[in-house]
A and B are shown apart, each in its own frame.
Chain A
């Protein structure tokens, strides 16, 4: 079954902690993306990767970090430097970099407690 898997679905973090959100795809897609969605807001780009071992900052990268060591995996770490991390995080992938439609995982809802 091809697709994009995000885990966990719900995540609770204490203030000052780093947490890592997982994103795995078996679609053989080159490009992967992380978006953040807040209530009533559109999707804002955090980081993206066009190819293994390469990634670029999006519009709101501060307080986040990523890695792309394998084509299938693009984990996102939310660090303690991110001041308002409570949000819905969406991972997506596309067949090639930048010129094809993107498909989304089911999302991770992060709450700071």
Chain B
């Protein structure tokens, strides 16, 4: 059973700080990694994806991947109250659909 693990939180950070969200996965053959943001009562929205080891930056968001450690993270710089949401890590392996973690709830305090 392929597993994706996230700390459920809540992770509380002050406005303007860096929020660091972490995810580990069990299948060493996983190829693609995604971060979704989900506001309460809404559907998930794709914010980042990463395929290769290293960092990928998009605006205030940076995704980091370390395949040797089976670890992927999302950094949110200059956190805003509007970033308060649940962040879902999802992993793609072989010919199976996305496997999601349970999500980390982020709260940005103004």
Contact = CB atoms under 8 A, between A and B. Distances in A.
The judgment on whether A and B are partners is: yes
Interface of B: 4, 8, 31-32, 34, 42-46, 49, 88, 90, 92, 94-103
B44 to A, nearest CB: 5
B88 A43 contact: yes
Nearest to A31: B97
Interface string A1-45: 000000000000000000000000000000101010000111101
A18 to B, nearest CB: 24
Interface of A: 31, 33, 35, 40-43, 45, 48, 58, 90, 97-99, 101-107
Contacts of B96: 98
A98 B94 contact: yes
A94 B101 CA distance: 19
Contacts of A97: 95
Given A33-B98, A104-B45, 9 more contacts: A31-B97, A43-B44, A43-B88, A45-B97, A90-B43, A98-B94, A98-B95, A101-B46, A107-B42
A31, A43, A58, A106 pick with most chain B CB within 10 angstroms? A43
Contact of B97 (A42, A98, A105): A98
A104 B34 CA distance: 13
A41 B8 CA distance: 9
16 contacts: A33-B97, A35-B100, A42-B4, A42-B100, A42-B102, A43-B100, A45-B99, A58-B97, A90-B43, A98-B92, A99-B32, A102-B46, A102-B90, A102-B98, A103-B46, A106-B42
A90 B101 CA distance: 15
